[in-house]
Structure 1
């Protein structure tokens, strides 16, 4: 497959749809959001430079058009059993970009792209999520269960420094202190267990102790609706801001934002999109659904600063 154009893979604004690329590790199908995929290339073992003293899943580096990329063997990392036909010549590399990083992921083969609704994606059970946080959900297509792989978590397992600074609390800023933050109620929608817990830890350590957390967009949307029904026009005095990922089971973040701003008419309820997918085109999508801000996932300090600015920096909408 040649390099894809961004126009072909962009999520539409607030339609609750996405495209996933289905790939195989052995006989088990997996999937990732096509938005992260830049291209698919044949695997050439001779093009790989082996590195000493690296994670066992790291094959080395791959030279691609003058650029050196880390190459990760996904089958080895998730401990999937190889298929009967396991020749290197059949394997392919998924070149993916997210969190301002570009990596190559070696897989056994690809099937096709599926356009699906996030309503079809089922979150991993809480029990399984404790042990397999590498997966954020699953979807049934043609009697096949496709596991949605959390590439950010895979990269963080191999290179913890590429993960996010989840242990650094944000002290007083120009507009907020830990004491004033404690009076504000926030909601967080994030499907990745490790990211969800990390953001929760930083926000609470910074003073945002009133934090309601959801593992998908629909549950968060329902919670906002319930508060609106209870408090009506006084909602802005109760709920002050929503932070949402974009990729989530049941309802994606763009749809959640559109539901809040348009369907519920809560134009003054602040919404921040916090996602590894943020780029120029995705920022435009966030603007189209009325998001008040967007931050790419490595930038934890920037997230807290934006929350402070939106919650305390304006008298409109609380």
Structure 2
């Protein structure tokens, strides 16, 4: 809508419940919707037994400025966005090492006020934002393990790589400045390292967003964007399996855009900080809460966000 069983082993159900409690941290939280190029994702490269499934629902709300294109005749832009996301994750054996595949589709309600060419205006958007699929592979410290083998697994140093693909299915109007979808494909290769130190986990990830062109920008223009480099770091403390607290930080640099070959000096140098809390309940359920905010921003990303995620897991 546009208005602006093996012998001597536990039964499978018991095994599933055991791992669900231990693995409540595996379902990494990704805030759906707008400005997701600078997401904060603690525990993204955690190991899990082969065949483990996670399904979840995420609700998020954000308030602030998410416009990064300085070429737009837009001022005083403030938006409130409500996001619902459906996510599925499956752990798999990737040539002997641990891997995960993930798919996510967000639905967004957005309302905002802004000045366009000096005139006050407001509007709303309701619809799907761009979907994402990804594959992550841990090539160090996280072998592919059966459920029985995983019971004795203890993380030390884990290193992995991932590829995220943004699929342009989101709502897009060729004649509008603000859209839920980007009308272009985007790809993010990333490397990540996680180090366990007792009950503490220290993580660092680095990646780069690579953007295809949008050749239907404001109907007749072509929008290009340079690569956007991202880093993020997380420090987590695990109180007990599934119950943990993390502080998060991220930085994005680059991403300058051009319209019909004219660059706009809108490159980003944006810092975000936040915290994430994971709480298991029952044997196969968990809740996550994440808060993050723009700490220092040059273009866009000057918004506050809250996300709440529910996870159900099974083997």
Asked if TM exceeds 0.5, the reply is no
TM range (shorter): under 0.3
User: Higher helix share goes to which structure?
Assistant: 1
- TM normalised by structure 2 equals 0.26
User: Higher strand share goes to which structure?
Assistant: 2
